[in-house]
Amino acid sequence: MRLVLASTSPRRRDLLARIGAAPDRIAAPDIDEDVRAGELPRAYVLRVASEKAHAVARAEGEIVLAGDTTIAVGRRILAKPEDEADLRRMLGLLSGRRHHCLSAVCVIDAAGKARTRVSDTVVAFKRLSQAEIDWYVASGEGMGKAGGYAIQGKAEAFVRFLSGSHSGVVGLPVFETRALLEAAGYQLG
């Protein structure tokens, strides 16, 4: 069976390699990732991962894998920051608080059956000073990242507590992904 990764994220490719999975094809899904009115974080991340997987054409014998990650502070979804001001707002919300990183995976097997799983990781940031926020914003690392931070980079220094899947916070929970690929009949290396 051939594996199609419905993502252009290099982090997701690296995380797949950790479990012995190498995509045979990479496809960039084109979907609307805007949050719908009243949509809660878990439902949002599941919907987006599923829509990404279904947006990619699947040939005979192919398995499609898609993922999505979002940060939730209470019921608020922190998507990717729109600009530096939005990034500063997000870091202010995360400062000194626990939040949830929800990372969903959807795998569509060769027969067309879709399976999903969600990893829910609790992350707590230290209280951030204005100088730390300025430094992180200036680094540019948080732009394009859910919640405005990359735990595998400079923001790791802000994490005082983590309970759950570190790889899920990076962008693809490997435990859940492995289970879904095995259920789909994909042979891991």
Residues 114 and 184: their CA atoms lie apart, in Å, by 9
Active site residues: 68
Distances (CA, A) of 116 to 34, 122, 124, 156: 20, 20, 26, 28
Report the candidate in 101, 78, 59 with the shortest Cα–Cα distance to residue 147. Answer: 78
The pairs formed by 1-4 with CB atoms below 8 angstroms and a separation of 24 or more are 1/61, 1/62, 1/63, 1/110, 1/184, 1/185, 1/186, 1/187, 2/59, 2/61, 2/62, 2/63, 3/62, 3/63, 3/65, 3/181, 3/186, 4/56, 4/58, 4/62, 4/63, 4/64, 4/65
Write out the two tokens for 37: 């009115």
